[in-house]
Structure formats: structure tokens, C-alpha cells
Amino acid sequence: MKTRLKLKIMTGFFLLASLLLIAGAISISEFTKLSKSVNSLIEDNYKTINAAQAMLESLEREDSGILMLMLGQWEEGRIIIESADSSFMLALNIAEGNQTEKDEDIYVAAIKESYSKYRDKWKKPIVNTEKEGNIDWYRNNIHKAFLETKHNVTNLMNLNQESMHAEAYDLKEESRRAIMPGIVAIIAAFIFSILLNFFISKYIISPIGNLSEAIKEYNPGQANISVVKSSDELKKLESEINAFLERLIRDSRK
């Protein structure tokens, strides 16, 4: 009996806290999943896209180096080509070790094959041969192999970009799902707070106010005060007040 009123109040706040705790746990879980998805997106697609971009830049530098060789500038041309070749192979190894999309191995294999053919063409001497200054040879051999390799690298980049766009859309949906529990919790907590305030006012504040008014209006000789409808501590307080008033009346009659 003594703890019934306290239990009512504590139960209300416990339910409110539980509601917020559950909503918070759901939101944390959803945001954790979202964080993992973002990391996966960066680790998988963006890593390969960067590697493909590096390969394209290396191809352009190699092409410039080949043109330098065709102009008879052997030393400068070889420095450019060898540096670009090293960069290309490094990026290709990254892409090959980060195959996460369907048929991505086919795209990587196509790059390796076309680049190998392209590489074989400029590996052979150009300076001081009939190839030097031969635009037709460049156009029909080097440039053709260059475009084929570039096309294959671009295909690999497009594959990962399309996948990244699709995953970005999924992330948008996941973020929406992560936000919803918080929104629901806020609305539910607001409604529950109104209900809790209503019940506290009805079962605690109002009875106390009624009891206070009854004490002010009490006249000796009238029936006992009976304004509390519940059977909790407030009813006990009402009984104690009635007992106290009866003692006062008895004492006053002596």
C-alpha cells in the first residue's frame, strides 16, 4: 500500500524511458549498418574507380612518352613511359585485388590482355627505326591498342560507378530507416508524456487538490472526508486526516 502511488509514478517514467531506450537501440543498430555500408561502398567501388582513373592517367602519359620516342627523344620518352607503366601496373594490381562486382574479373582480364598487347608494341625499339616519325604506324598500331585498353579501363570504371550509384540509393533508403525509429520515438514520447501528465493530474494532483479543499471546508459534526477514490497512499492520507480530525473533535468536547 505504501509504495502503490510511487509505483504508479515510477511505472509511467519507466515505460517512457523504455520507449526511448528501445528506439535509441534501433536507431543505433540502423546507423551501425549504415556506417558499414558506407565503408563497404568506399572500400569496394570507390577504390576500384580510383584505380581505373589512375590507369587512364597512366595510359595518357604513356601515349605522350611514345610520341616523344617518335620524335627521336629517346631518353625523355623512356623515362615518361617507364614511370607511367609502373603506375599503371600498380593501379591494375589494386583493381585485380578488389574485385567485388559480378563479372568484374572479366573486365580486369580484358584490361590485362589489351594492355599486354599495347605494352609489347612500345617495348620494341622506336627511335632510329622506320617507326620514328611514322604517323601511319602510330595510328594503326599504337593508337589502336591504346584506345582498346582505354576502352576496357573505362568499362571497369563504369561498372563500379553504376554499382556505386545503386548502392548510394540503397544507402539513402537505409538512412531513412535509421531516422524513422527516432522520429517515431519522439512522437510516441510526446504522446506518452501528455498521457502521463493526464494520469498524474487525474490520480495524484486532483485528489490532493480535492483533499485540500475538503479540509478547508470541513465543519465539525459533518461526515468524514471522502474525496479520494483510489486505494493508494492518498486514501491512506485521507484516513489519517479523518482520524486526526476525530481526535481534535473529541479533545475539544472534553
Q: Point out the domain boundary residue: 191, 219, 235.
A: 191
Residue 117 confidence (pLDDT):
92
Cell of 144: 589502336
Tell me, yes or no, whether 62 and 90 share the same domain.
Answer: yes
Q: Looking at the structure, tell me whether residues 70 and 131 fall in a common domain.
A: yes
Of 40-44, 155-159, 240-244, the least confident: 40-44
What does 189-202 look like in DSSP terms, one character per residue? Answer: HHHHHHHHHHHHII
pTM over 0.75: no
CA triplet 93, 97, 103: central angle to 5 degrees?
Answer: 110
The total number of structural domains in the chain stands at 2
Q: Residues 133, 216: one domain?
A: no
Residues 80 and 128 grouped into a single domain: yes
**Domain match, 143 and 231 both:** no
Give the residue numbers spanning the domain of 211: 195-253
pLDDT computed for residue 5 by the predictor:
61
Give yes or no for residue 94 having a pLDDT over 70.
yes
Same domain for 162 and 96: yes
What would the pLDDT profile of 183-233 be if each residue is shown by its tens digit? Answer: 777 777 778 778 777 777 777 777 777 777 777 776 766 667 776 776 667
How far is 180 from 185, CA to CA, in rounded Å?
8
User: Comparing 126 with 250, which gets the higher pLDDT?
Assistant: 126
CATH code at position 36: 1.20.120
